[in-house]
Structures are given as C-alpha cells and as structure tokens.
Amino acid sequence: MSNITASPRQSTGEFVALMAFLMSLVALAIDAILPAFHAVGSSFDVVDENELQLLVGVLFLGLGIGQLVYGPVSDSIGRKSATYIGLGIFIVGSLISAFATSYEMVLFGRFVQGLGVAGPRTLTIAFVRDRYSGREMARIMSFVISVFILVPALAPTIGAGLLMFSTWESIFYCYAIMTIIVGTWLTFRQPETLHKEYRLRLDITPIILGMKEALSNRISAGYMVVGGLAFACLVSYLNVAKLLYLDIYQIDEMFPVYFAILALSVGASSIVNGRVVVKYGMRFMMKLSLKSLLTISGLFLALLVFNDGYAPFPVFMVVMIMIFFFMGLLFGNSNAMAMEPMGHIAGIASSIIGAGTTFVSMSLGTLIGQFYNHTLVPMIAGFTLLSMIGLMLMYWIEQARDSETE
C-alpha cells in the first residue's frame, strides 16, 4: 500500500493541509481572476463577454496538457522535484500575464500557468496514493478537498480586495507570492514519498504502457470520465459565474460572498464524505450523488423552462447549494476510484487520469459556457445532461465489475 515511512515531524493533519494548499493553487489561479474579468477586458478593449471566458478556458487547456507530463517525471525523479518544476513554471506564467501588453499575451500567460499548476495538482494525488489506498485514500482525499475548498471560497474575495487597492495585474503578483510560500513549506516540511528503489527510469516505453493500462482499464478510464463530467458542471459555472450574477441578478460587489457560499457547500460535502465513506463505500456515495444531481437539476430545469429561464435569487441559491453539495461528493470519490487499480503506477496513472478528467471537463464545461444567453437554462440543462450521462456510465462500469466477479 505504501512505499514510504511518514516523517515523525509531520502529522497527518499537516500532510492534509499541505496537500490541500498545493492543490489549492489551481483554485486560486481560476477563481481569484473572476472579479477582474471586466477590468482585464477594459484594458484590452475586449467587449465580447463570452471571449472573457477564455481566461478560464486556456488555463484548463494548459492544465490538461501539463498533467500528462508530471506523473511520469515524478515516477523518475521523485514527487518533490517534479512539484518544484511545476511551481516554477506557474510563477513564470503569472509574470507573463502581469506584464502582458495584449489580451493574447494574458491568455498565453494563463496557458503557461496551467502548464505549471498541473504539477502540484497532479502530484498531490500521487503524494496521497503513495501513503494510502482504497477507502482510506478516499477519506484522506475528502479531507484534502475540504481544506482545499476554503481557497475557492476566499479567492474571489482576494481578487476583489486587490482590485479595490490596485489593478488586475496585482492578482498575478499574488499568485507568484503564494506559490513561493507553498514551495517553501514543501521544502522544509514534506518528506519525499517515493524512495529511489521504487522509481522508474524516464523512458517513453513504460509511459506508453502505463497510458495503455490506465486507459484500457474500464474502472480507471470509466471513473476518469465520470469525474470529468462532474468537474464539467463546475467549469461551466466558473465560466459564466461573474456574468450570470451581474446580468441576471445585478449583483456585483456581493459576488464573492455568494460565490463563497457555494464553494463552502462543496467543502461541507467533502467533510461529510470523509466521515461516512468508510462506512458506506465510494460506490454508494457516487450513485447517491449522481441520482440527486439528476433529480434536482432536472426539476429546476423544468421550472426554468416554464418561467422564461429565470428563478428568484433565493430559489437559485438554495438549488445551487444542493447541487454543489452533491457535486462535491463526487470529486474525491471519482479520483480515488479511478486510481484504485493503479497503485503500482501511481505517478503515470495520476497524470493520465488527471489529464483525462481535465480535458473532459474543459471541453464540455467550455461548450456549455458558450451557450450562455443571459438566462439560467443553458447551465442547468448542462448539469442535467452531464449527471444523466455520468449515472448511466457508472452503471455500465459496475455491471462489468459484477460480471468479472461472478
């Protein structure tokens, strides 16, 4: 199960916190810039609201590509060294965007940020998989996500606060500073989790074989897609969140507060999952979540269709809190279930699964975002369709598993 001995200086709580903050760089990169959409657009005369969604989309593109690299590299040089490479690239991308002279250069910097932040995003899972497996891994990942979710809850507030006293470029300086802080913590407090005797020679052959094994395993590949569908719901929301609150509900200054409420709903679900998943199992929790998502989003879609795509703001918030709660139950469990058969190639598998999840979520989430028409219908219809596909896919995966055990 584990190939390392935990450092006596590091408690489980500190390990969870560090992994959460490494993973949270992704959330910080995505969410802190949301309040600055219009400020960035004004600086470069970008008037198409849907074009501003690219500030999120190109980062996910870089994130997906980057995740293919870090796992195999970390299997060869160790988790910490590979993480340092990602953190360095993320800082470079932040500075490119901060000093950009055109919108295209900002987007290029965001792409480089995605390439860099893919390192800590991918290797967080590998760090955890090195030490835990099965339901215990799901429990630890749920705790990691519950701490991690504090960052997306606070990130828009951080971005809005910086905009009150400075320009949008200061958000990118903040990215660089936070990365240096987390990197310093990693250096002095986190032991290497992959000892030299377990490392693989960096060779294209085992990488290709590892990719083939991860993608041909119905459980790993299937739950990778299910996780991607769940994250696609989140990506579609992130793409339109600022526009949605401002256009439909005329909410601007309070946007970070309402954004945080939904993020905390995901955090609450992760805490609940961490407490009950060992008792009920990951499959039960995922089926419960997908069925609940399908029911809630489907009923809300019906309400919207008969009300010209509009719902009173209190109704919208209550429904979204429920949706985000069940969405949160899927995140840690889908990752853990996809990684479960891949412990012997955790680095390569975490890269493939992470990249696949990101490409699915980026493609579908961005597509749904482009249908934004100043109503709630496209987003909620997307939630309904994605949860339906996810539930059908999970039943297909589990039928195959049952037939293999008979």
Q: Render pLDDT for 336-370 as a digit per residue (tens, 0 to 9).
A: 888 888 877 766 777 788 788 989 999 999 999 98
pLDDT at residue 8 is higher than 60: no
Specify if 2 maps to a domain.
no
Residue 180's nearest CA partner among 131, 101, 276, 116 is 116
Of the two residues 13 and 300, the one the predictor is more confident about is 300
Structure tokens at 334: 């889908």
Of the two residues 11 and 56, the one the predictor is more confident about is 56
pLDDT in tens, 156-195: 999 999 999 999 999 999 999 999 999 999 999 898 988 8
pLDDT at residue 6 is higher than 60: no
pLDDT in tens, 137-166: 878 877 787 677 678 788 999 999 999 999
Per-residue model confidence (pLDDT) at position 167: 96
Structure tokens at 310: 């509009």
Of the two residues 126 and 229, the one the predictor is more confident about is 229
Specify if 4 maps to a domain.
no
Specify if 7 maps to a domain.
no
| CB count in 10 Å sphere of residue 139 | 20
d(CA 139, CA 132): 9
Cα–chain center distance at 258: 19
Orientation of helix 54-77 relative to helix 103-131, angle to 10°: 40
Q: Is the dihedral of CA 20, 23, 25, 30 positive or negative?
A: negative
Residue ranges in 44-168 assigned as alpha helix (H): 49-52, 54-77, 79-98, 103-131, 134-148, 150-165
Count of domains observed in the chain: 1
Q: What is the CATH number of the domain that holds 351?
A: 1.20.1250.20
Specify if 98 maps to a domain.
yes
The pTM assigned to this predicted structure is 0.82
Q: Which residue has the tokens 């998943």?
A: 277
Q: What is the mean pLDDT of the chain?
A: 88
Per-residue model confidence (pLDDT) at position 361: 94
d(CA 122, CA 206): 18
Specify if 3 maps to a domain.
no
Percent of the chain with pLDDT strictly greater than 90? 54
195 phi and psi, to 5 degrees? -65, 160
Specify if 137 maps to a domain.
yes
Question: For the residues 82-110, what does the mean pLDDT come to?
Answer: 97
Specify if 219 maps to a domain.
yes
| CB count in 10 Å sphere of residue 76 | 18
Q: Going by C-beta distance under 8 Å and a sequence separation of 6 or more, which residues neighbour residue 221? A: 214, 215, 338, 356
Residue 156's nearest CA partner among 235, 260, 52, 25 is 260
pLDDT in tens, 14-45: 998 899 889 889 989 999 999 999 899 999 99
Specify if 1 maps to a domain.
no
Domain limits at 42?
12-405
Residue 52's nearest CA partner among 164, 168, 149, 161 is 168
Percent of the chain with pLDDT strictly greater than 70? 95
